[in-house]
Amino acid sequence: MGSLHKATFVLLMLCMSALGRAEYLKYKDPKQPVGARVKDLLGRMTLTEKIGQMTQIERINATAEVISKYFIGSVLSSGGSPPFPRASAKDWASMVDEMQKAALSTRLGIPMIYGIDAVHGHNNVYKATIFPHNVGLGATRDPMLVKRIGEATALEVRATGIPYVFAPCIAVCRDPRWGRCYESYSEDPYVVRSMTTIISGLQGDVPSGSEGRPYVGGSKKVAACAKHYVGDGGTFMGINEGNTIIDNHGMMTIHMPAYYNSIIRGVSTIMVSFNSWNGTKMHANHYLITDFLKNKLKFRGLVISDWQGIDKITTPPHLNYSYSIEAGVGAGIDMIMVPFAYTEFIDGLTSQVEKNIIPMSRIDDAVYRILRVKFTMGLFENPYADRSLAGELGKQEHRELAREAVRKSLVLLKNGKSASTPLLPLPKKAGKILVAGSHADNLGNQCGGWTIEWQGDTSNDKTVGTTILSAIKSTVDPNTQVVFSENPDSAAVGSSKYDYAIVVVGEPPYAESFGDNLNLTIPTPGPVVIQTICKRIKCVVVLISGRPLVVEPYVSAMDALVAAWLPGTEGQGVTDVLFGNYGFSGKLARTWFKSVDQLPMNVGDKHYDPLFPFGFGLTTEAKN
């Protein structure tokens, strides 16, 4: 063979060899360090693909066509947004996998990340374990219990194919008039800080030496989200999304500390708050998002907006959307929650980058952070649901854990008309007992907002659990007659010979601004039921609420008073303590005011004059 032919042949063989061997893509190699993978992938991306990664849309819009056409980086379920009512773990996983398939079909095959509010268990999902809301968990003073709740929640979320949760809320609620106060562990920043253990439960424990970097420890853990950054619990008069009027020292010592702990624990994402700080919207606050959080605290995860959060930079919302995009992305938000108007956002941001209004360096910072989280959590290697986890949803061990959390969260505020005559624990053996009140046999009331529906529900059929009434019936002696009357009249109460009564009253479910409340009274007919019964029979009042309520006018009539907060699906945890299987141990993580005229009033204030102080809680011994 001539030398020319030989050279041609060698060249041909080299070409065939190259064609037969796929191009080496560093970003697809799990052996490469995360930083190298991110840089390699980022270098291959077009502006369209980058902006797609910064876009999070609502499930209802996330068709395969939309995901692949716009290179959508993330999808979410808003509160109460299942594939269909009573969807199973398998149904959820199938829906998420279909969306993932569309994301992986794109040119670079970047997986999308699905996020959901799992704020007290996997609360959007039928048959999930619903744990007590944070207001109750703060009263347990038990960070390890809260970590275990994070572990259980991660498993239930992964059972449905979802790898990312918008939790925990680490707000420091300084005014119970705020409709989200039940999402806060305490008015005290130190208690809230201690409860950031839930992040380690959700994500796994950060390896030694990696503190401060986003971390998700495998396919049975989920990426967490510390929210809402920052000062959401300190607004004027507790108005949701309002203005937090506080100096820099106050912001840093009250509202910021839990974020330090969250970052050390490797929290993957931080959500920006709707509130303003001294008149400046947080979604437009470059100093706190970029200068402080990213540059000073060295947060390396991604910063996400709240629901239509950039729209609300203007008043009214969406007044000047072009400005909202510029201000929000310019402030340092990396992923934008644009549930519906995503094309308007994508077009607007693209135009601003092309016109050099937003520099490419800002886009690259955002996408770098998003990809770092996706690589860190193993989404490129394991993009699909693990169907073997389906049995984790609502499993018995998780329900037992929730029951433990309920009994540890209950705070005993009064026990007996005098200290020498305690009413609790109640005898299981009695002739006849009365159970009354709007919340005694109502699972929806017991669980509160953010349960199946965004605003919660007032029925027993939206999910599976144990009401307090059914727990009482299964706890007392079989020969004890249990009479239930939601709102009995005085004649019926007076003429029947009851040994004692359990009155369960409280707030209806609510979420966010719908819960803002300037009077904080027990809703009717609660006060009438208390007075009708407690004047005639020995009674314990169990208050189901997301915060302290006005009880001073009625306390003297009661023999015992229990703050049960929003206990969730496991009503048996309430009866465990009422009947003495376990002792009361919960301590107030919030000040219990006498009158709303005192608000805001927090522990350490000069004129501190509570009905029950922060840290108060009577104890009882378990009966053998």
Q: Do 416 and 344 have their domain in common? A: no
Q: Do 439 and 381 have their domain in common? A: no
Q: Do 454 and 333 have their domain in common? A: no
Q: CA distances (Å), 213 to each of 82, 300, 372, 603, in order?
A: 32, 6, 10, 34
Q: Do 560 and 439 have their domain in common? A: yes
Closest CA to 503 of 461, 544, 457, 449: 544
CA 415, 417, 421, 427 dihedral sign is: negative
Average pLDDT over residues 30-45: 98
Query: Would you call 124 helix, strand, or coil by DSSP?
Result: coil
Alpha carbons within 13 angstroms on the beta-carbon side of residue 181 total 30
Q: Do 346 and 377 have their domain in common? A: yes
Q: Do 331 and 193 have their domain in common? A: yes
Question: Looking at the annotation, which residues are catalytic?
Answer: 306, 512
Residue 550, in any domain of the structure: yes
Residue with tokens 């540890």: 408
Residues 6+ apart with CB under 8 A from 8: none
Please report the pLDDT score of residue 495 as a whole number.
87
Last residue of some domain: 389, 424, 444? 389
Closest CA to 453 of 402, 511, 506: 511
Q: Is 568 exposed, middle or buried, given 0-12, 13-18 or 19+ CB atoms closer than 10 A?
A: buried
Q: Is 316 exposed, middle or buried, given 0-12, 13-18 or 19+ CB atoms closer than 10 A?
A: exposed
Looking at the predicted structure, is the pLDDT value of residue 195 above 50? Answer: yes
Residue type, 224: A
CATH number, position 225: 3.20.20.300
Please report the pLDDT score of residue 12 as a whole number.
47
**Phi, psi for 270 (deg, rounded to 5):** -130, 130
Looking at the predicted structure, is the pLDDT value of residue 9 above 90? Answer: no
Q: Do 176 and 296 have their domain in common? A: yes
Average pLDDT over residues 193-217: 97
Q: Do 437 and 335 have their domain in common? A: no
Beta bridge partners of 539: 501
Residue 543, in any domain of the structure: yes
Query: In percent, how much of the chain has pLDDT > 70?
Result: 96
Distance (Å, rounded) from C-alpha 109 to C-alpha 52?
13
CA dihedral 86, 90, 91, 95 (to 10 degrees): 140
Residue 394, in any domain of the structure: no
CATH number, position 496: 3.40.50.1700
Q: Do 414 and 385 have their domain in common? A: no
User: Do you know the residue count of the chain?
Assistant: 624
Distance (Å, rounded) from C-alpha 480 to C-alpha 482?
6
Residue 395, in any domain of the structure: no
Residue 605, in any domain of the structure: no
Q: Do 347 and 419 have their domain in common? A: no
Q: Is-contact 504 566, C-beta < 8 A?
A: no
Q: Is-contact 133 120, C-beta < 8 A?
A: yes
Last residue of some domain: 356, 389, 422? 389
Query: In percent, how much of the chain has pLDDT > 90?
Result: 95
Q: What is the per-residue pLDDT across 511-557, written as a single tens digit (0 to 9) for each?
A: 999 999 999 999 999 999 999 999 999 999 999 999 999 999 999 99
Residue 382, in any domain of the structure: yes
Last residue of some domain: 338, 360, 389? 389
Average pLDDT over residues 64-77: 98
Query: 221: domain range?
Result: 20-389
Residue 500, in any domain of the structure: yes
Looking at the predicted structure, is the pLDDT value of residue 64 above 90? Answer: yes
Q: Do 382 and 415 have their domain in common? A: no
Number of domain units in the chain? 2
Please report the pLDDT score of residue 6 as a whole number.
57
Q: What is the per-residue pLDDT across 473-524, written as a single tens digit (0 to 9) for each?
A: 999 999 999 999 999 999 989 888 999 999 999 999 999 999 999 999 999 9
Average pLDDT over residues 445-461: 97
Residue 3, in any domain of the structure: no
Looking at the predicted structure, is the pLDDT value of residue 33 above 80? Answer: yes
Looking at the predicted structure, is the pLDDT value of residue 18 above 60? Answer: no
Q: How confident is residue 20, by pLDDT bands cut at 50, 70 and 90? A: very low
Q: Do 234 and 183 have their domain in common? A: yes
Please report the pLDDT score of residue 22 as a whole number.
75
